[in-house]
Amino acid sequence: MNGKLTIYFTSDTHGFLYNTRFTDTRPSGIGLLGMRFPKDGNTLVIDGGDTIQGSPLTYFCRTEGEPLPVAAALNDREYDYVTLGNHDFNNGPEDLRAYLEELRAECLCANVQGDLPVKPWTVRRLENGLRVGLIGLVTPWVNRWEKPENLKGLTISDPMEAARKALREMEGQYDVLVGIYHGGIERDLETGRLLSGTDENIACRLCEEIPFDILLTGHQHIALASGKWHGVHLVQTPCNAQQYIRAELGEDGQWHSELMNVPPEQTLTPRERELKGKMEAWLDTPIGHLSRAILPGDRLRMAAEGSEIADLFNRVQLWASGAEISCTGLPNEIRGFEENVTVRDVVSTYVYSNTLAVLRVTGKVLREALEQCATYFDRTPEGKLTISEPFLRPKEAHFNYDFFMGIEYAFDLSRPKGQRLCRLEREGRPIAPEEEFSLVMNNYRATGSGDFECYVGCPVIRDIQTEVSELIIRYLAEHPMIQIPDPMRICGD
């Protein structure tokens, strides 16, 4: 194999092993089991985290008691190193430990401390004598998003400080420095414009302060090869094992990287074939009926005029919580529901492992939350309604637009951002700033994530630890025929 060092890199595969998007049974160019990484003594295979949670397969294994096949798939492909992603903590330290103990690859994550088989850094001497230093890191926003019981016994510290400490310990031991960072890029790589001012994503800062030769990034699901910042080569993969990176350091000391496609054909072992058959049968299990199908529409239109899918989610949340008001977002990719609903419909439409929190909020907080939702909308120079850039770049974040139930509200989009809410009522009566209500939302939003800082500090009335997808399945099972009314309309253009 040519070159001094070859790296194959995956990230944010989210348990997408098979060549399916789960919305149907047609084969697709997707899935870790379709990837092959030719190896020699100068090749490393690396994963950037968010590996064991996020697909109907991982949900099926967890709820049906099937062994999770992710570590076996990585072992079969001879991965050398992995780091941790924020979603890898979703099912608690025991599940995470079991995955890491089954894995033959070494886990590097310098800013995670605790009772896990994790190292901060390592140096690998290749067959050609090159000494490759590697540092793993994860976004510290795990502390903000994750339930405390899922981080019991673990500490997740500042990644910049952890990288500096690792660098001091590695001094003089490496020829090439590789960063494996489950976090994203906070600046436009062409213009330098700041896209995010928080410390959720700090890839550019890492490039400026740590002498990486290449930084393997994740979390944002951006398809990026041959990026460059402060002289550091930058790459990232899209989510769900849709592509992977091949990066090569040549004899001339220059990096080259490219995104590689996944073939739709897969050769499965008997165990992999058996598991897929069980999963497909489970996905097609009927669980309920709707008066009519509710399918996704255009993103902008759903946000502006309402979504029957979001309405159903909100109905379930109100039913499960007893709250007065509910809010929910929609994933970036949505299957929707046929009239005869199956498990496949649910887990391919509500794809997150979220639980619920009920907060005590005031009318003032509601107004601030709705004003944040209204920032989803923008105008083109010609005056046409469009989606504002922060919801599209650096990654698509349609899930940060919330749909509410239990209140009546409207936006006047001719007004400046922050002053767009022109109606806020409950049961036909205007809501006063000091009035208090119970508001149910997913645990991600309850932390204030998605620029909903107004929720931070609101009293928590109760937590509902059952995952929302399971609550939807229960609701459908308990309501033999669900009537779907006309969608809510939001006025203002």
Give the residue among 325, 333, 297 at the shortest CA–CA distance from 403. 325
pLDDT tens for the chain, 493 residues: list them.
Answer: 446 999 999 999 999 999 999 988 899 999 999 999 999 999 999 999 999 998 999 999 999 999 999 999 999 999 999 999 999 999 999 999 999 999 999 999 999 999 999 999 999 999 999 999 999 999 999 999 898 999 999 999 999 999 999 999 999 999 999 999 999 999 999 999 998 888 999 999 999 999 999 999 999 999 999 999 999 999 999 999 999 999 999 989 999 999 999 999 999 999 999 999 999 999 999 999 999 999 999 999 999 999 999 999 999 999 999 999 999 999 998 999 999 999 999 999 998 888 999 999 999 999 999 999 999 999 999 989 999 999 998 889 999 999 999 999 999 999 999 999 999 999 999 999 999 999 999 999 999 999 999 999 999 999 998 889 999 999 999 998 999 986 544 444 4
Query: Chain-centre distance of CA 170, in angstroms?
Result: 32
Spatial neighbors of 292 by CB under 8 A, at least 6 apart, are: 339, 484
Cis (ω within 30 of 0) for the bond into 394? yes
| H-helix or E-strand spanning residue 302 | helix 299-305
Calpha distance 33→55 (Å, rounded): 14
> Smallest Cα–Cα separation from 341: which of 284, 279, 278, 282?
284
pLDDT of residue 394: 85
In a 3-state reduction of DSSP, which class is residue 334? coil
Contact of 245 with 224, CB cutoff 8 Å = no
Distances (CA, A) of 168 to 135, 173, 174, 255, 267: 12, 10, 12, 25, 45
Question: Please, is 383 exposed, middle or buried when counting C-beta atoms within 10 Å of its C-beta (0-12, 13-18, 19+)?
Answer: exposed
Q: On the CB side of 324, how many CA atoms lie within 13 Å of its CA?
A: 16
Say if residues 60 and 322 touch (Cβ distance below 8 Å): no
Provide the 3-class DSSP secondary structure of residue 209: helix
Residue 328: closest CA among 435, 218, 444: 444
pLDDT the model gives residue 490? 43
DSSP bridge pairs for 440: 326, 358
- What's the pLDDT at 395? 86
Full-model pTM = 0.87
Backbone angles phi, psi at 173, to 5 degrees: -105, -5
Candidates 152, 151, 208; CA nearest to 185 is 208
Q: Which two tokens stand for residue 464?
A: 């509902």
d(CA 339, CA 69) in angstroms, rounded, equals 32
232-236 vs 224-229, strand pairing mode = antiparallel
pLDDT, residue 23, reads 86
**Residue 63 gets which letter from DSSP?**
H
- Pull the structure tokens for residue 53: 């949670």
Instruction: Give the whole-angstrom CA distance, residue 353 versus residue 468.
Output: 7
Q: What domains does the chain contain, in order, with CATH numbers?
A: 5-275 (3.60.21.10), 284-478 (3.90.780.10)
The contacts of residue 209 (CB under 8 Å, 6+ apart) are: 160, 163, 164
Q: What would the two tokens of residue 94 be?
A: 């025991």
Burial of 18: CB neighbours in 10 Å, binned 0-12, 13-18, 19+? buried
> CB neighbours (10 Å) of residue 480?
8
Residues 6+ apart with CB under 8 A from 54: 14, 15, 16, 87, 240, 351, 352, 353
Residues in the chain, total:
493
**Per-residue pLDDT at 3:** 63
Residue 227 to residue 219: CA distance in whole angstroms? 16
Assess contact for 367 and 420: CB atoms under 8 A: no
